[in-house]
């Protein structure tokens, strides 16, 4: 059962998923804290390069199945034009100002 993005618990994570699915790069970047970092399958990646390749130039889309840790950990089906669909996990570090300072993803 997919959780609609508007029903996600954490406001920053809700906005992140909404921006990914709307292909809203500017909105996505506005959610990130200065110096934000990310990792894919346990390896740190260049954030700008990764989001362009894995999300915005390849029509990335998240269908969230489950959330935990107050909405800051997701289990989701992720698809893009490069890799097709895969089962993924996402975790988020959200700062006091509501911006995301780090996210990690990988196959679930």
Domain boundaries, the chain: 5-107
Nearest to 60 by CA among 69, 52, 68: 52
Q: What is the pTM of this model?
A: 0.96
Please report the sign of the dihedral spanned by the C-alpha atoms of residue 51, residue 56, residue 59, residue 64: positive
Confidence band, pLDDT 50/70/90 cuts, at residue 1: confident
Q: How confident is the model over 30-80, as pLDDT tens digits?
A: 999 999 999 999 999 999 999 999 999 999 999 999 999 999 999 999 999
Q: Could you tell me which CATH number the domain at 5-107 has?
A: 3.10.450.50
Cα–Cα distance, 37 to 53 (Å, whole number): 16
Please compute, for residue 72, the number of CA atoms within 13 A of its CA located in the half-sphere on the CB side: 12
Please compute, for residue 58, the number of CA atoms within 13 A of its CA located in the half-sphere on the CB side: 17
């Amino acid at each position: 059962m997919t959780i609609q993005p508007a029903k996600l618990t954490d406001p920053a994570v809700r906005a992140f998923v909404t921006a990914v699915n709307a292909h809203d790069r500017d909105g996505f970047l506005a959610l990130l804290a200065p110096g934000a970092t990310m990792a894919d399958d346990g390896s740190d990646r260049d954030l700008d390069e990764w989001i362009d390749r894995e999300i915005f130039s390849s029509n990335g889309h998240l269908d969230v199945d489950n959330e935990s840790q107050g909405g800051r950990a997701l289990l989701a089906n992720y698809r893009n034009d490069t890799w097709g669909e895969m089962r993924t996990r996402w975790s988020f570090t959200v700062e006091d100002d509501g911006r995301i300072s780090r996210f990690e993803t990988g196959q679930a």
